[in-house]
């Protein structure tokens, strides 16, 4: 089982957990908030900037396992304010293309470090065709 706390261009964990874990071709990504990898601080330009930063961080985590968004099967989005749903959807749709992962969006009362949004994901490495 592969456990990674650091992937290239990804902020480290803000607690006692791995950024992602990999086993049997499956990759489980911990929840990501809009942390800038260079500073480790939450981007401050609003929900749009946080969403873009999260999507970039997830893409970099996937790349560390040799994957892309096409290998992502499930995404869960946590929003502090459900009125941000349309903005997040629009940005998400610019980055994540068909075939879309299954997805849930959940309203929450608070997120770490005062974030407005958090995303977690599950991906799987492609299974080679049977010979």
Per-domain boundaries in the chain: 2-124
Q: Is the dihedral of CA 38, 11, 73, 86 positive or negative?
A: negative
Tens-digit pLDDT profile for residues 18-32: 899 999 999 999 999
| pLDDT of amino acid 37 | 92
Q: What angle do CA 76, 80, 83 make, to 5 degrees?
A: 95
Residue 85 CB burial class (10 angstroms; 0-12, 13-18, ≥19) = middle
Scan for tokens 């456990």, then name that residue: 3
Confidence of residue 9 (pLDDT cuts 50, 70, 90): confident
pTM of the model: 0.91
Report whether pLDDT(116) > 90.
Answer: yes
Tens-digit pLDDT profile for residues 30-78: 999 999 999 999 999 999 999 999 999 999 999 989 999 999 999 999 9
* CATH tag for 2-124 (out of 3.40.109.10, 3.30.1330.40, 3.10.20.30, 3.10.129.10): 3.30.1330.40
């Amino acid at each position: 089982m592969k456990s990674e706390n650091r992937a290239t261009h990804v902020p480290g964990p803000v607690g006692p957990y791995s950024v992602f874990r990999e086993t049997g071709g499956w990759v489980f990504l911990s929840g990501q908030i809009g942390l800038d990898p260079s500073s480790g601080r939450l981007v401050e330009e609003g929900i749009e900037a946080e969403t873009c930063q999260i999507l970039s961080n997830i893409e970099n985590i996937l790349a560390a396992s040799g994957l892309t968004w096409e290998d992502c099967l499930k995404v869960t989005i946590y929003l502090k304010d459900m009125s941000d749903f349309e903005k997040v959807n629009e940005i998400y749709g610019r980055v994540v293309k068909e075939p879309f992962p299954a997805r849930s969006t959940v309203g929450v009362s608070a997120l770490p470090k005062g974030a407005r949004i958090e995303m977690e994901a599950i991906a799987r490495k492609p299974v080679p065709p049977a010979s």
